[in-house]
Amino acid sequence: MPVQSDFDVADEVCVITGGAGVLCSAMARALGEQGATVVVIDIDEDGLAEVAANLDDVDAEYMTLEASVLDRAELEAAAETVVDKYGRIDVLINGAGGNSPEATTDESTDFFGLDAAGVENVFNLNFQGTFLAAQAFGEYMAEQGEGHILNVSSMNAFTPLTKIPAYSGAKAAVSNFTEWLAVDMAQNHSPDIRVNAIAPGFLLTEQNRYLLLDDEGNLTDRGQQIIDHTPQDRFGDPEDLLSTVLWLIAPGSAFVTGAVIPIDGGFAAFSGV
Ligand code: NAD
């Protein structure tokens, strides 16, 4: 097979949850630019309208759907809508996720003061949201006998970060589930259903801005520590993820499954010494 067609995703129907967010809207646009059909799922109606404008801009074939990754019935309805219109689902990118101040320790709330509901919300959004979407969309892949599920873990799944135990634990669960599901799909459904994950490092986005920059836009102590611990000496940009996303979902990666790929400027590799 020529190398060029290894990377061809033009005929793929790609569903992206959390697709109105900073990272996944960049993925949606990149896939649209490559000629893929893009289905953007999110709970943020205004965000969906913005992504739609973005996809119009690159002349992509796309659909936006308002649905929550925490609601299996909404996800199943969304999957049915996609299959009714496009006939198949080739790729699911499980992008909905994030941390929240309610599950973060700070000067006024230590570990013992963390609210159980805040912890549960973060855990559910990242782990359950990935699990439920994999069920709803993966079932069509099982029927087709092929497909690719790409989860979004985090570099804090390898080594937990201070302050954010629920988010770190939930992303560790996403990485673990990526391996579990890769095996289950290959053994019990089809060897041509692959499951992988990306583990982004520190990208400056809305979910972590309050932790990394102060009100004047200067690095917080935590932001500075991160930069000091990142051999490439910068935060990442959403665009830094795109080539890895395209590589993992592309047909040429047919023998890559159960992999969690760090995209972190060397953060996870650096001992600090
Ligand atoms: P973001 O907040 O910009 O995007 C998240 C999107 O998920 C939002 O559009 C939000 O509306 C949507 N969402 C929230 N709850 C939802 C629900 N119940 N159902 C459907 N959609 C829902 O965040 P981001 O920085 O673009 O992060 C995207 C993914 O990357 C997340 O899984 C995040 O944990 C992960 N990640 C981010 C970083 C980073 O540095 N930004 C690093 C590692 C991993």
Average pLDDT over residues 39-43: 98
Calculate ∠ Cα 116-163-20, nearest 5°.
80
State in Å: Cα 247 to ligand 1 middle.
21
Domain spans of the chain? 3-217+237-265
Q: Which residue has the CA at smallest separation from atom 44 of ligand 1?
A: 154
Instruction: Specify the pLDDT at position 81.
Output: 98
* Spatial separation of the C-alpha atoms in residues 244 and 221, rounded to whole Å: 30
Q: Which residues does 8 contact at the CB level (< 8 Å), separation at least 6?
A: 34, 250, 251
The protein residue with its alpha carbon nearest to ligand 1, atom 5, reads 21
What's the 145 CA to ligand 1 centre distance in angstroms? 29
Assign domain 3-217+237-265 to its CATH architecture.
Answer: 3-Layer(aba) Sandwich (3.40)
Residue 5 has pLDDT above 60, yes or no: yes
The answer to ipTM > 0.85 is: yes
pTM: 0.96
142 Cβ closer than 6 Å to some ligand 1 atom: no
